[in-house]
Amino acid sequence: MEGLSRIDPFRLWQRSLPFRVVLTTLSAAIVILVATGWFLMDQSSRGIIAGKTQASVAEASAVVANMQATLSATDLRTTSVSEQISRLAREAASRGQVGNQYFVVVETPISQIGTAGLAAESIPDNIRALVGKDDGLWSTPTMIRFTDQRADEPGLVVATTLDAPGQAPYPVFFLFSTNQEQETLAVVQQATLATGVFLLAGLTATVYLIALQVLRPVRAARLAAENLAAGHLEDRMAVVGTEDLSGLARSMNHMAEELDKKITQLQNLSLVQQRFVSDVSHELRTPLTTIRMAAEVLHAHRSSFDAASSRSSELLSAELDRFEDLLTELLEISRFDAGAAELSIDDVDLTALARDEVSALQRLAEDAGIVMTLDATDDCVAEVDVRRIRRILRNLITNAIEHGERRPITVYVRGDDEAVAIAVRDHGVGMTAAESGLVFDRFWRADPSRGRRVGGTGLGLSISLEDARLHGGWLNAWGRPGLGAQFRLTVPRRAGEQLRGSPWPVIPPDLKEFIGVRR
């Protein structure tokens, strides 16, 4: 019972399709059964009461007609009207007591004559008023009450009058018990209720079994989809029959086969691409070394060349530097793709590391007309690979200088009990929300026509994202056109722990009154 009490119906409604089907069907069935039962009971009650009323009125009419005929034939010279009325009332009461058919009350100006022990309140006041106003015959339900120890019982009163020569009409009331009819109605009600309960129970079991039969293939499809998502592309659904549900199984199996083919093709293509990048990067190393040696000789003797040749040797040396950086980053990317990248963990003060990088790139920022500051707190030590974190920070600062538009750049360092965050905030051109999700793609540029002042290969942010993931950290980008951008790196203080939040918001705090803060 304790386990059942813990069941949340709302949660069960959300998670269980059979429960929804059964509950919906039962709710509709209950409404239909209640409406049908009410209609049957109402019609049965009306029919039984109408039949009882018709029979009672006919019985009362026959008795009154007999009493009226006897009263009309009475010789008033030998018998008074009151004596005859009393005799007729007693005779009618005696006949009514045979088989407990009815009770009789005849009202005279001085008393009530009829069945003994009958209480006066058994006759409703409204029917007394009707009898006193006009001739006719009326009937209405009542509760028959007694002055002795007999229990009250439901009944029907039929009222009319006796006409006596030279006197006002005498009201006559016949009270018929409806106990038997009420018992019949009770039996009908119990039978209707029992039928409804059995019908609901049977309907519940039937609907549940039907739901299970219908949902079994759906559940099998869900399990097959989960297995496909987990990488088990060889799993297939059993195809049974030729109806729509078996068609679902065939469609799922066909989808699994197509997915298997496509994924295999993509994996092969990815392997070829990774191998190509790795092989090309390694193969270019040897000719690059030779070209580098020749370029260094030319660059060293450029003073003896004419102006055009001297400038060409300088451009050759600069482009070879850039080409070498590209090969280095391609090799790094190939290591990430092959899963061969590893961390060299050490306790690192990220505030000191950020201070060193800001100092190293300060000259570059000044050449771009940018003021760069560091806003950091103490106790920001984390277990990280210092080489990779330094590379991430250098890429972020260089990117901010490239797009800073001669506006200030601030590097923030914050820490809490579980994580340390480094954020680089610029107030340059910014980027759209869609572009903030693309900046980490390889070789992606927001504006391909924009010239570079600092340089770069287009792989720096991609490598930075892989370095952050290798630490179990986050690298988030935020920006809006005209409001600048912010890149935030968050790493756990202890290697291997899972991040649950960041000490610094992904949206710059200086814009929270316009946008709101989201961590």
> For 223-328, where are the E strands, in sequence order?
none
Beta strands in 268-345 (DSSP E): none
CA–CA dist 364, 358 (Å, integer): 10
Task: Report pTM.
Answer: 0.48
Residues 368 and 224 in one domain: no
In 148-184, which positions are buried (b, 16+ CB within 10 angstroms) versus exposed (e)? Answer: eeeeeeebbbbbbbbebeeeeebbbbbbbbbeebbee
Terminal C-alpha separation, the chain: 43
Residues 162 and 305 in one domain: no
Say if residue 414 is in the same domain as residue 313.
Answer: no
Strand ranges of the sheet holding 170-177, from the earlier edge strand across to the other edge: 112-114, 103-107, 170-177, 153-162, 138-144
Q: Contact, 154 vs 141, CB < 8 A?
A: yes
Pair type for strands 409-415 and 372-376: parallel
Residues 428 and 291 occupy one common structural domain: no
Read off the amino acid at residue 309.
Answer: S
Q: Which of these ranges, 115-119, 144-148, 277-281, has the smallest mean pLDDT?
A: 277-281
Where residue 111 falls (left for φ over 0; alpha for ψ -120 to 50; beta otherwise) is: beta
| pLDDT mean across residues, the chain | 80
Q: Are residues 373 and 494 in the same domain?
A: yes
Please give the Cα distance from 42 to 50 (Å, whole number): 12
| 434, burial (CB in 10 Å: exposed 0-12, middle 13-18, buried 19+) | exposed
268-273 long-range Cβ contacts below 8 angstroms, 24+ apart: 270/337
Q: Considering its fold, how many domains does the chain have in total?
A: 3
Residues 211 and 324 in one domain: no
Q: Does 128 or 322 have the greater pLDDT score? A: 128
Mean pLDDT of 422-439: 88
Question: Do residues 248 and 274 make contact, with C-beta atoms less than 8 angstroms apart?
Answer: no
CB atoms within 10 A of CB 351: 20
Q: Which of 180-194, 282-296, 375-389 has the lowest mean pLDDT?
A: 282-296
Among residues 303, 320, 338, which one ends one of the domains?
A: 338
364 in the same domain as 426: yes
373 and 391 housed in the same domain: yes
Let me know if residue 247 belongs to a domain.
no
User: Are 320 and 295 contacting, i.e. CB atoms less than 8 angstroms apart?
Assistant: yes
**What is the pLDDT, as a whole number, of residue 266?**
74
4-8, 356-360, 372-376: the lowest-pLDDT one: 4-8
How far is 237 from 508, CA to CA, in rounded Å? 51
Do 298 and 447 lie in a common domain? Answer: no
**Average pLDDT estimate for 419-427:** 95
Specify the pLDDT at position 407. 92
Whole-angstrom Cα distance, residue 519 to residue 505?
Answer: 5
Q: Are residues 87 and 15 in the same domain?
A: yes
pLDDT tens readout for residues 214-247: 777 777 777 777 777 776 767 776 776 656 667 7
Same domain for 208 and 331? no
3-state per-residue secondary structure call for 409-429: EEEEEEECCCEEEEEEEECCC
Residue 382 per-residue DSSP state? E
CA dist., res. 327 & res. 12, Å (int): 57
If asked whether residues 305 and 367 sit together in one domain, one would say no
Looking at residue 288, the DSSP 8-state letter turns out to be: H
Burial code (b: 16+ CB inside 10 Å, e: under 16) for 326-341 equals bbebbbbbbebbeeeb
Distance CA 141, CA 50 (A): 11
Return the CATH number at 511: 3.30.565.10
CA separation for the pair 60, 309 (Å, rounded): 138
Q: Tens digits of per-residue pLDDT, 256-283?
A: 788 778 877 777 776 766 666 666 666 6
**pLDDT value at position 517?**
43
The helix/strand count (H/E) of the chain reads as: 14, 12
Which residue range(s) make up the domain with 350?
A: 346-515
Residue-wise pLDDT for 331-351, tens only, equals: 676 666 666 678 889 999 999
Out of 322, 338, 354, pick the residue that ends a domain.
338
Q: How far apart are CA 63 and CA 57, in angstroms?
A: 10
| More confident site: 19 or 2 | 19
